[in-house]
Amino acid sequence: MDRVEELIQKSKLLVNKYKNLLETNKAQELKIKELEDEINKFKNIEEENQNLAVQISELTKERNEIRQRVEEIVDEIDQLGI
């Protein structure tokens, strides 16, 4: 009978270890999900930064074109002697 009791105790220990492993696994899966969410946030920020860089470039080009046109107008005014 002692052998049966010993096996029952070992089985209970194994069940407890399995339950603990499941809990640990669930916690790790949650942490992985949190990290994936953080990675996605950074990817979204990176994409937004790239879009902003394109907009800045376009605005800079537009500003330079306006500046050039203003200089041309000033030159025309100077030539007219106004």
Q: Which tokens in the block code for residue 53? A: 């860089």
Give the rounded percent of residues in the chain with a pLDDT score beyond 70. 99
Mean pLDDT score across all residues of the chain: 96
Q: Which tokens in the block code for residue 16? A: 């407890």
Give the rounded percent of residues in the chain with a pLDDT score beyond 90. 94
**Region 57-78: what's the mean pLDDT?**
97
**Region 8-36: what's the mean pLDDT?**
98
Q: Which tokens in the block code for residue 40? A: 């996605």
Residue with tokens 């009978």: 1
pLDDT surpasses 80 at 1: no
Helix (H, G, I), strand (E, B) or coil at 81: coil
Angle at 7 between CA 5 and CA 13, to 5 degrees: 105
pLDDT of residue 9: 95
